[in-house]
Amino acid sequence: MTSTPVHAARRELAGFNGELIGPDDSAYHEARTVYNAMIDRRPALVARCADADAVARVIGFARSHALPLAVRGGGHHGAGLGTVDGGVVADLSPLKDIHVDPEARTVRVGGGCVWGEVDRATHAHGLATPSGIISTTGVGGIATGGGLGHLTRTCGLTIDNLLEADVVLADGSRVRANADDNRDLFWAIRGGGGNFGVVTSFLFRLHDVSTVIAGPTFWPVETSADVLAAYRDFLPRAPRELNGFFLHGTVPPAPPFPEDIQLRKIAGVVWCHTGDDPEAAAREMAPLLDALPTPLLHAPSAMPHPDMQAMFDGLYPPGHQWYWRADFVDTIPDDAV
């Protein structure tokens, strides 16, 4: 029988802490699948790593066999960076430890966690750290890439709140990077993505965020230019505890959206006010609402922070075929729409 990477891995990685999955295994299809169904790659080996030593051994195995290596956190990356044709996937999903220290106001998070898991653990202490807007996204990709979400105006990006990381380097060595030790590496992983090593554990700063006032305001899509211009003028002056992101979209055809606006094309703002006082939130949103026609829907309400974080999960389920494009603009011109 020809020796394949998975056979070689089973021979060479005796006592491996995790799972070694190859194309002939029943778990293979599920193990090779990532969030975006446009990505249909077939790795030679998916190695589910249950500790940092397993990560180091998989890196060494891929190097010694000259196989390309992909590192997977939550597997959400739109272009599928968490998988690779014919190579080795170091799947960090078993690294799920979460430890909240309410006194120090920090949370230590395994490199394979997704944000919903972290949000629920910190919420039990009335605390949170910023992430993205989908709770199934991996901590690994966001915490090494940037992390822009509902808490950004109040608490900064995810990388602004990263205090420390345990990293396995390409030569298999394990280091801790923070403001005092391995400072260059600490700088590089806060935005450099997965290019500098595999983070097996992250330490984040926590903030007093528990109940938030959150939800959407929708206007007819025909008013987009006015909504965008008013939003552009309003948000930079709004208090930092109020976040609102602009969207164009179609109202989902299901409750809780009123039937008469379901499937309408809209321009909208999705709010998240990090204080728990609905009246304060309403006061802070008022200048934008006053500057525009009566909306089709204005529905911010009080909810636990993890519920806000999961609000869009149903609209962005894994397994759909997604094609995204993005661009940067310095400002929103008056005739943007």
In whole angstroms, what separates CA 92 from the centre of its chain?
Answer: 15
Closest to ligand FAD by CB, 131 or 224: 131
Closest to ligand FAD by CB, 84 or 228: 84
Closest to ligand FAD by CB, 22 or 194: 194
DSSP category for residue 221: G
For residue 79, the minimal CB distance to ligand FAD (Å) is 8
**Gyration radius from the chain CA atoms:** 22
Peptide bond into 256 cis (omega under 30): yes
**In the range 149-178, which residues lie near ligand FAD by CB under 6 A?**
149
For residue 121, the minimal CB distance to ligand FAD (Å) is 17
Contact string (CB under 6 A) for ligand FAD, positions 85-124, x = contact: -------x------------------x-------------
Contact in structure between 84 and 43 (CB atoms under 8 Å): yes
Residue 22 found at the interface with ligand FAD (CB under 6 A): no
* Number of residues binding to ligand FAD, judged by CB under 6 A: 32
- Out of 46, 88, 134, 267, the residue judged to bind ligand FAD by CB under 6 A: 134
**In the range 49-88, which residues lie near ligand FAD by CB under 6 A?**
71-78, 81-82
**In the range 26-45, which residues lie near ligand FAD by CB under 6 A?**
35
Closest to ligand FAD by CB, 148 or 261: 148
DSSP string, 242-291: EEEEEEEEE--SSTTS-GGGTT-EEEEEEEEESSS-HHHHHHHHHHHHHT
Contact in structure between 191 and 159 (CB atoms under 8 Å): yes
For residue 75, the minimal CB distance to ligand FAD (Å) is 5
Nearest to 206 by CA among 142, 144, 310, 126: 126
Q: Is 239 exposed, middle or buried (0-12, 13-18, 19+ CB in 10 A)?
A: middle
Token pair of 226 as six digits = 């006015």
Residues that bind ligand FAD (CB under 6 A): 35, 71-78, 81-82, 92, 111, 132-134, 137-138, 140-142, 144-149, 193-194, 198-199, 316
